[in-house]
Amino acid sequence: MTESLIEIQDLKKHFPLTGGVFGKTVGHVKAVDGVSFSVRKGETLGIVGESGCGKSTTGRMLLRLIEPSEGSIKFEGKDITNLSKKDMRALRRDMQMVFQDPFASLNPRHTVEKILEEPLIVHGIGNAAERKQKVKEMLEVVGLSSYYAKRYPHQFSGGQRQRIGIARALMTRPKLIIADEPVSALDVSIQSQVLNLLEDLQKEFDLTYIFIAHDLGVVRHISDRVGVMYLGRMAELSDSDKLYEKPLHPYTQALLSAVPIPDPDFKRETILLQGDIPSPSNPPKGCAFHTRCPHSMEVCKSITPVFQEAEPGHYVACHLYSEDSSMTNK
């Protein structure tokens, strides 16, 4: 089996909630509450869930753009959870992020050339002439002419701006790209072009991807495995094909039922979930999904299901698949 590039164990992020005159901590928002997974070299792991499920916080914690409250992160076998800021900055050469809104993440006052050159300057790569050459080459790689180097972000379309965002992430030739909803802000017609580009670049640059999205339809094509998050925890994680053909967790089943199927002869019943996603500052006891789950049982209200392997390589946190009493009461 290919070795892991990144591995996280029981990762948590609890943001303090302050209140009162003295600004005391009155509670915590459990944005991420104990997530574990690993990503193999060359693999694409999709992470999916509704907004507020903790997927973006998880992505940012991997790069330590947000500091974890608990848990560990290993990159190439090395524990980077407590790496100094200086060492972490150096490591970001290998780990880059592509953001959802390319316009917000590109400095509007800088030319594309300056935007793409910056990561090379930060990491001390090449002299001025070499850097300019690399910028030109990368623009061509992402499907933009090098002629655009002197233009500003506002002179591009949304799809072109995302290509610039991708080019910027690739400038240091990273090993891992964390793409946080990279196509959500784009027109549907442009989305597939950007997804195809990401796939081509993965092969060309031997990249490993963590691809964060709120829609199972978007990650299906690009992901080898998919993890589904709900209220700060992983509900299900499996090979992409298995997850789409035979989802085990009731939440995944509901999400999948809303994904349109291109075959008009194939009808699938849409599962409508009751209510809204609860607040992560006050998550329901037991299984966090029990307030909305169509299969909720008595046990679900008090006991948190363990995230365990229900079938080879297929993990799920749900009492419907618990075989023993090794359930934790968290």
Residues engaged in binding ligand SF4 (CB under 6 A): 249-250, 287, 289-290, 293, 295-297, 300, 305, 318-320
Closest approach of ligand SF4 to the CB of residue 305, in Å: 5
Closest approach of ligand SF4 to the CB of residue 327, in Å: 9
Closest approach of ligand SF4 to the CB of residue 304, in Å: 9
Reading the block at residue 105, the tokens are: 């993440």
Closer to ligand SF4 by CB, 207 or 228: give it.
228
Cβ neighbours of 118 (radius 10 Å): 15
CB 131 within 8 A of CB 117: yes
Is residue 270 exposed (0-12), middle (13-18) or buried (19+ Cβ within 10 Å)? exposed
CA distances from 136 to 125, 146, 148, 159, 171 (A): 15, 5, 9, 19, 11
Closest approach of ligand SF4 to the CB of residue 308, in Å: 12
Q: What are phi and psi of 94, to 5 degrees?
A: -90, -15
Closest approach of ligand SF4 to the CB of residue 329, in Å: 13
Closer to ligand SF4 by CB, 16 or 294: give it.
294
Closest approach of ligand SF4 to the CB of residue 272, in Å: 15
Closer to ligand SF4 by CB, 244 or 321: give it.
321
Closer to ligand SF4 by CB, 195 or 293: give it.
293
Closest approach of ligand SF4 to the CB of residue 154, in Å: 46
Closer to ligand SF4 by CB, 263 or 324: give it.
324
Closer to ligand SF4 by CB, 49 or 68: give it.
49
Q: What are phi and psi of 26, to 5 degrees?
A: -110, -5
How many Å apart are CA 233 and CA 10, to the nearest integer? 10
Closer to ligand SF4 by CB, 182 or 280: give it.
280
Closest approach of ligand SF4 to the CB of residue 9, in Å: 23
Reading the block at residue 37, the tokens are: 């997974």
Residue pointed to by tokens 């990249």: 207
How many Å apart are CA 59 and CA 176, to the nearest integer? 11
How many Å apart are CA 12 and CA 83, to the nearest integer? 17
Spatial strand order in the sheet of 95-98: 95-98, 176-180, 208-213, 44-48, 225-230, 233-239, 314-317, 307-311
How many Å apart are CA 66 and CA 57, to the nearest integer? 7
Closer to ligand SF4 by CB, 139 or 293: give it.
293
